[in-house]
A and B are shown apart, each in its own frame.
Chain A
Amino acid sequence: MANSATIALPDVRTTTYWRRNQRKLAPVLFLAPGVLMFLVYVIAPIFQSIWISFYDWDGIGAKTWIGIGNYVELFDDDAFYTSLQNNILWLVLYMLAVPAGLFIAIFLNQTVTGIRIYKSLFFFPFVISQVVVGLIFSWFYAPGFGLFYLFLEEVIGTPIAILADERFVTYGIIAAGLWPQIAYCMILYLTGLNNVSPDQIEAGRLDGAKGWRMLWHVILPQLKPATFIAVVVTVIGALRSFDLVSIMTDGGPYGSSRVLSFYMYEQALSEYGFRMGYGAAIAVVLFAIMMVFISGFIWRMVRDERSGG
C-alpha cells in the first residue's frame, strides 16, 4: 500500500479520502441507481397523481384547476359506487383464498410417491398469466357450450350466462381470480407446514390433541408468518384486480363488473375519453383504501424488524 502511494501523488489523495470515508460513501453509491429509478417512476408519480386529481385535464391541452371538483363529482357518480361496492366484494371473497389454500396445503402435505408433481400441478394456475386465466374462465362460462354453463343447466335446470348477468358477473370474475390466488396461498402454507416443529406436534399428540384441535392450537400459531404473507398478497391482489375484469367483461354488462382500478383506466385512457384528472381522483381513492392496509402491514413489519434486530 505505502509503496504504491509514493508513486502517484494525486491518486493518493483520492484514495485516502475514499479509504477514510468509504463506509459512509459506499451505501450512497450502492443505493443511488435503484433509489433514483424508484423515486422517478414510483414515489414521485404518487404525488403527481394526487396533484393532477385537482385539475380538469384531457392529457393534452391545458390543465384547469378545479380544486376538489373531481371528488365532488365522484360523490354523485353511480358508476363509482358500483366499482367501490365491487371492490369490497372482491376484498371479502378473495379472503377465501387463505383458508382454501391452507386446506389444499394440508391435503397435499404427505410423502406418498409422486406428491411433488401433484404439488407443482396444483400450483400451476399461479404461473399462468391472468389474461390466459381470464380467457380460460370465459370459455368455462360461455353460454351454449361452456362446461360451467352446461353444469348449471344440468343441476338447476335453467342455465345462466354468468358473464352477461349483472347479478352474477362479479362473482364469476372473482372465482376466476381465486383460482391462481388459492394456488399462491397453498404454496405459502406448504412451505410453512414443512417448517412446523415436529417436537411440538409430538407434544400436542401426547396431550391428546388431534385433528381440528391440533390444527387450531398447535399448527396455526406456527403458521403465523405464512398467514401474514398470504393475507398481504391476497389483499393486494384483490385491490389490484384489473386484468380479469378487462379480459372477461370489459367492465360490463352495463358497467356492473367494474372495479375502481378498471373504472379509473376507463375514465383516463379508453375510448370514453381522456379524463386524466377524474381518473387520478379515482386512483387517489383506491390508493387511500390501499394505504390503510399498507400502513398496517408496514407497522407490523417495522415492529418485527425492531424486535428481530
Chain B
Amino acid sequence: MFPAPVERASPIIRYGYQIALPVALVLWLLPLLGVAVTSLKPTGDLAAGNYFGLPSHIAFENYADVFRNSLIGQYILNSFKVTIPTVIGAVALSCLTGFALAVYNFRSNLIVFFMFVAGNFVPFQILMVPVRELTLRLGMYDTTAGLVCFHIAFQTGFCTLFMRNFIKALPHELIESARVEGVSEFRIFRYIVLPLMRPAIAALAVLIFTFIWNDYFWATVLVQGSHALPVTAGLYALNGQWIAAWNLVSAGSIVAALPPVLMFFLMQRHFIAGLTLGATKG
C-alpha cells in the first residue's frame, strides 16, 4: 500500500492524521456547509447580518416556503420525467450495442466502436443548432420527450463504451459452448450474457441518472416553459426571482441536489465502479 499505513507510524503522526482528516474535510466542504446552514436560517437572521453564526432557530420553513411558493415541485417532477426514461433507454440500447461490439468480429467493428467513443467527447455546442431544429421539426420542442430522445442518443455513446468493455471481459467460452449447443444468438444474449451484465447495468443506471439529473445546457436549449423545465434550469430561473433571498436559494439548491446525492450514497459501490472504469486497466 502507498503511502505507508499510518498505523505503523509513530503516535504523533497517527494522532496528527486523525485530527487532520476532519479538519481537511471541513475545509473541503466549507462552501457546501455554509449553504446548508444558510438554508436553515430564518429570513430575519440574514437581514440582521447574521451570516455566519448559527441560525437563531432552525427554519425548516424555508424548505416549506420553497415548495409552496415556487414551482420547484413541478421542476423536480419534470427532472424525473426526463431522467428515468433516459436511464432505461440508454441502458437498454447500449446492452444491445455493447453485446454486438464485444461478441462479433465484423470488419467495421472498431470503426463503429470508436464512432461511439469519439461522439461522446464532442462539445455540445456543435450539436446545438441542428438538434434544436430536429426537435422542433419532430414537434418535441419544449417537452420532456424531446430532452429524453436526445439524452438517450447521446448517452448511448458512453454506455456502449462501458458495456462493450464489460462484456469483453466476460469469459468468451460461455458463448462459444452455447453456440456449439445450437443456442440462437438472441437466446445467448438474453439468457447467458444479460444476466451477467447486472452489475454493469446497475453502475450505468446510477451514473446516467446523475449525469442527466444534473444536465443544465440541454434543458435550456430544448425546453422553455415551466411545464417541462428540469430542476437545474428551474433553479436558475428561481435564482433570478429570489434575488438576495439566500436562505431560499440555498434551500432550493439542496432540494435540487438531493436525488443524485441519495442515489450516490445508496449505490456508492456501483457508482464508483462505473466512474472508474478503465482507471485500473492496462
Contacts and interface: CB of A to CB of B under 8 A. Distances in A.
Given A30-B96, A106-B3, A269-B221, A121 B121 contact: no
B162 interface: no
B279 A192 contact: yes
Interface residues of A, number: 106
Most chain B beta-carbon contacts within 10 A, residue among A215, A260, A269, A282? A269
Interface of B: 1-3, 5-7, 17-18, 21, 24-25, 28-32, 34-35, 38, 49, 51-52, 93-94, 96-97, 99-101, 103-104, 106, 110, 112, 114-119, 121-134, 149-150, 152-154, 156-157, 160, 182, 184-186, 189, 210, 213-214, 216-217, 220-221, 232-233, 235-236, 239, 246, 249-250, 253-254, 256-257, 260-261, 264-265, 268, 272, 275-276, 278-282
Contact of A34 (B93, B121, B216, B250): B93
A163 interface: no
A41 B280 contact: no
Interface in A114-172: 115, 118, 120-125, 127-132, 135-137, 139-140, 142, 145, 147
Interface of A: 1, 19, 22-24, 26-27, 30-31, 33-35, 37-38, 40-46, 48-49, 52, 59, 106-107, 109-112, 115, 118, 120-125, 127-132, 135-137, 139-140, 142, 145, 147, 179, 184, 187-189, 191-196, 198, 201, 214-215, 218-219, 224-226, 229, 232, 236, 239-240, 242-243, 246-247, 260-261, 264-265, 268-269, 276, 279-280, 282-284, 286-287, 290, 293-294, 297-298, 301-302, 304-305, 308
A23 B103 CA distance: 10
17 contacts: A26-B100, A34-B160, A38-B115, A42-B119, A42-B153, A48-B129, A111-B5, A112-B7, A124-B261, A127-B261, A127-B264, A131-B235, A193-B1, A232-B121, A268-B129, A280-B126, A287-B126
The SS class assigned to the A binding surface is helix
A118 to B, nearest CB: 6
Contact of A283 (B17, B115, B123, B184): B123
B156 to A, nearest CB: 5
Contacts of A124: 29, 32, 261
A192 to B, nearest CB: 5
A22 B70 CA distance: 56
Given A45-B130, A120-B268, A139-B35, A225 B278 contact: yes
Given A38-B115, A45-B130, A219 B2 contact: yes
Contacts of B114: 298, 301-302
A276 B125 CA distance: 11
B25 A37 contact: no
Given A46-B126, A112-B7, 13 more contacts: A26-B185, A30-B99, A42-B119, A59-B129, A129-B213, A129-B232, A135-B250, A139-B249, A201-B1, A246-B220, A261-B125, A290-B121, A302-B110
B122 A37 contact: no
B279 A225 contact: yes
Nearest to A144: B51
